[in-house]
Structure formats: structure tokens, C-alpha cells
Amino acid sequence: METEVSTKASEFAARVPLSGEHLLKVLELLKGSMTFEAKVVVPDCSHRAAIKGLGFDPVDVMPRQVYFFDTPELALNKAGIVVRARRFSGGKGDTVVKLRPVDPDMVDPELRHSKSFKIELDVMPGGYICSASFKGVSTSAEVLEAVEGRKPIASIFSKGQRAFFRVYAPADLDVDKMVPMGPVFILRHKYDHKDFGRPIAVELWLYPDGSRIFEVSTKGLASEAFQVGAEFRAFVTKCGIPLKESAVTKTGSAIKFFGKEFAA
């Protein structure tokens, strides 16, 4: 199944200008997706101006910690699988097992009936990627105990998540064979803007080497994608945020950083 789902993965993700051919692929992927997310990475030189243009109060942001799980050789990353756990203030936490890029038609249709599962198409300037994710609920303390080795890593993932993992992960890799990578410290704020008709999310990812990624995004149903995308594009442009292609992604940057640590 792992091979089937990842076959022709480039069809379900692209980091190139969206030509007519790619737009047709986006339309096709939207038919099999459940939700849609439009996002843009703010260049480092524009962070202050973006905060002012977006019109939110920086003191309202909420802290998070994110841990990723993989093998030292990054076997999951090579197979297109992301395993993640987050800690929030107030003692809450969550987990996710994500497959990307993915062909929506190759995913078990029964999973669509689960409230914990979604297929989402992310679109950003110069690219798109389709993913399938299975989310779980944990506590902040449980996540910390797992990454510190005081309890099995598998214990913070639900039965459904572990089953999803077994279908798509390399055959010889068990959840408890993974090692924790992190944390990455995040500042996040979700708010309503008077000039935009749906919630806006802003996230600042602070990596251990001092680098950072500032992302602005909004979500909607797959059926709303083109309307939401056009409105979001106009909104961020009005806020003074340049719509530039970016070679960096939040998760990819984290995996790359911690992978180098293990290699060293």
C-alpha cells in the first residue's frame, strides 16, 4: 500500500509556478480533498510590516511546542510520512500521523467517516501539496513523558492512528522505534480581521539554530477553494505581504535541521 499511495507523488505536490497544467491538477485534487488551506510565507525582511498590516496584537499569541518523530536515517520522511506531537498551554496537546503528498483516490474511503481524519490541499505561491492526516488528542504532560522516554511513544497515539501508520510506514518500522526530534517553539494566533470574512492564522516558528518562518494562512472547504484563494491573495497583498515563492516549509525545515543533528 505504501508504494501505491506514493506512486507518481510529484502529481500531488509541486513547487513550481502554477501553469495551466498544474491548475488542472489542483482542480482534480480538490475533488478528492475535504478541506483547503491557502498560505504564504512572509520574507524575513517583511516581518514587522506584516504584523502591522495584518492588524493583530502580538501579545495575544499563544505558545506551542512541536516534536517530530522519525528514525535517525529519516526513514519516515523519505516515505512521505510525518509523525508529530504538540504541547499547548493549559495542559493540552495533540498528535498527528500525516501522509504527503498523497493521491486522495488511493486512501481508504472508510477513513473519511472519521472526524479525526482529513484530506487537505495546501496551496501557496508557486506550489501545492495534497496530504492525508489522522489526528489524535493527548495531554501536554503525556507528550513530554513520551519524548523524554518515561512512557512508550506509541501510548500518545490512538488505535486508529497506529493502524493508519502501519498501512503506510515502511514494513519494518514500528511506532516505538522512532526517536523524538525537537522541540520547535511556535507562537500562533488565530483571529478575525474586519476586512476578511474568515479566520486568519499567523504562526512564527522559531528553530534551534535561530532561523524562523513566519506563515499566514486561512482555511475553508475544498468547494470554496478558488473563491477563498482569490480573497486571501487580495487580503495579504493589501496587508503589504509580498506573494513570493518560498523554498522553505515549516515541517520540512524542522526535519532537515534535526536530521543534520542526528547525522552529526
Per-residue pLDDT reduced to its tens digit, 121-164: 999 998 899 999 999 999 999 999 999 999 999 999 999 999 99
CATH superfamily of 2-263: Hypothetical Protein Pfu-838710-001 (2.40.320.10)
What's this model's pTM, rounded to 2 decimal places?
Answer: 0.90
18 has a pLDDT exceeding 70? no
Question: CA 100: distance to chain centroid?
Answer: 10
User: DSSP letter string over 154-187?
Assistant: GGGS-HHHHHHHHHHS-TT--GGG-EEEEEEEEE
pLDDT at 3: 41
pLDDT at 2: 44
259 has a pLDDT exceeding 60? yes
What mean pLDDT comes out for the span 170-179? 87
| Domain segments of the chain as ranges | 2-263
pLDDT at 6: 43
Q: Flag the least confident range among 15-24, 85-94, 206-215, 229-238.
A: 15-24
Q: Mean pLDDT of all residues in the chain?
A: 90
pLDDT at 173: 87
4 has a pLDDT exceeding 50? no
Higher pLDDT, 126 or 213: 213
